[in-house]
Amino acid sequence: MKLNRKPATTLLAVGLAASLTPLTASPASAASMHGCSYPRVCLYAGTYSGGSLIGWFRDTYYQNLPTAIRNEPDSVVNTRNDDSVWLIDTGASPDAYICIPKNRAVNLGNYNHPNGTTWANDVDTIKIWGDPDNGLCSGANAVRQGRIPDGWRP
């Protein structure tokens, strides 16, 4: 009796493919937060939980906010998993920034600005820190503030 080797070979190939399938990992995915999709940094008029989305960013270079929303943000949501973001006030002297760590939602009115008011309505530039960034602000998973020496602007 002669065996047909083709079905045996096909069954072996199918069996190997099925056994290898669980070894491949699906890409990591992140969920949106407060209506802000990954991998964006979203700015809101009002609170992030009840306000209106007025703009979003995902590029990792210094960007001036569009004129229509400049100095308007009241809150921010950073959905990025490993990048922190600086919200910058270039009207201060020297320029001031507030750093928002990875995966964080912040109402800017809860943070005192160096000018004596709050950070709400004082943001005109954004910088998302891409690779190599660990998503922390000055080594901590907390909102931090600082000043940028004059002459830093690209």
Give the three-state DSSP class for 144: strand
Cis, peptide link before residue 101, omega less than 30° from 0 = no
Backbone angles phi, psi at 46, to 5 degrees: 90, -170
* pLDDT 10s digits, 53-91: 999 999 999 999 999 999 999 999 999 999 999 999 999
For residues 89, 102, 61, 31, the Cα torsion angle rounded to the nearest 10 degrees is -120
What is the CA angle 151-89-134, rounded to 5?
85
Please provide the average confidence, as pLDDT, over all residues in the chain. 85
Mean pLDDT of 3-31: 43
* Residue 109 near residue 120, CB atoms below 8 Å: yes
Separation between Cα atoms, residue 90 and residue 47, nearest integer Å? 23
